[in-house]
Structure 1
């Protein structure tokens, strides 16, 4: 039996960045950040939540915060990062833990991130491929097979279950 670990076994993080509505329109719900990534393993573009590997001496919350900033330019205080669960991408082979982090983002955070990145030379391709989508759009993308990344799907399932339980308390 063989097992492996990535990046020295440091915990990675997936960012479920949530932007709550700020206007007076009660029909507008929360939006979530997804980004298109080219994945060599599948030779295809795919929609995913921002994510990445942890660095040495970095907590899961710090990893999530850093990854969100690297992939989107959005910088939030670590206090708004809530690790809700840890998952394993493949318990048959991989030992690595992945933190599922829910992150509250505000319009101010997005504006500040845009101001920071719009003046950068050669803006990172990840920044150009990030989009905010509402819950129904995200669900439709999953149902239509537009989101096929297993880690993103698992994290969304965790988030949906947590939301459902919170509503029924």
Structure 2
């Protein structure tokens, strides 16, 4: 039997950015639609990307958030929640689920839709409540595995604090 394995960016750690802002005592998650060539469709996802040479996951998360949304996070606002493999059957990958807490909502466009993504493959940036994301998963509108996993991990961590 022949097995094929793909290495993602020489197995450098990637990140999924679970970006959260608290407004009125409730958490809002940053989510956007990304064009995905492999499935030829727009998918709702958390910002994410692969690490560059010499980057740690925290630095990768800050860079990816900025590249995809234009938002900046301070290093002390970023923490690793978990680690996962997107598809251990065929990918040599190492994905870190990074929570990014943005506290200064005065400088963050917390609105229903913001079309300011700096990434060509991103559109329709939104801040959504946990219940909204749960409904999108239930309704089949959010089908991206790493985003569903990262959201679940964040929700579990939130309830354990």
Q: Is the 8 A contact 1:73 1:127 kept in 2?
A: no
| CA drift at 1:165 | 2.1
State the partner residue of 1:114: none
Aligned residues: 153
1:42-96 alpha-carbon deviations (Å, 9 max, x no partner):
1111100000010000000100110000111110111211011110011112121
Please, which runs of 5 or more residues in structure 1 have no aligned partner? 112-116
1:13-56 alpha-carbon deviations (Å, 9 max, x no partner):
000000001x4xx5xx1100001011111111110000001000
Q: Structure 1 residues 42, 128: CA separation in 2 closer, same or farther (over 3 Å shift)? A: closer
State the partner residue of 1:40: 37
Spell out the pairing of 1:81-160 with structure 2 (5 A cutoff): 81-106=78-103, 107-110=105-108, 124-125=119-120, 128-160=123-155
State the partner residue of 2:112: none
Task: Tell me how far apart the structure 1 counterparts of residues 121 and 107 of structure 2 sit (CA, whole Å).
Answer: 17
Q: Give the TM-score normalised by structure 2.
A: 0.87
| CA drift at 1:157 | 1.3
Q: Is the 8 A contact 2:35 2:42 kept in 1?
A: yes
Indicate the structure (1 or 2) with the bigger Cα radius of gyration. 1
Task: Tell me how far apart the structure 2 counterparts of residues 153 and 127 of structure 1 sit (CA, whole Å).
Answer: 18
Which of 56, 63, 66 is the equivalent residue of 1:66?
Answer: 63
Aligned CA RMSD, in angstroms, stands at 2.0
| CA drift at 1:126 | 5.6
Which one has a larger percent helix, Structure 1 or Structure 2?
1
Please, which runs of 5 or more residues in structure 2 have no aligned partner? 110-114
Q: Give the TM-score normalised by structure 1.
A: 0.83
Which one has a larger percent strand, Structure 1 or Structure 2?
2
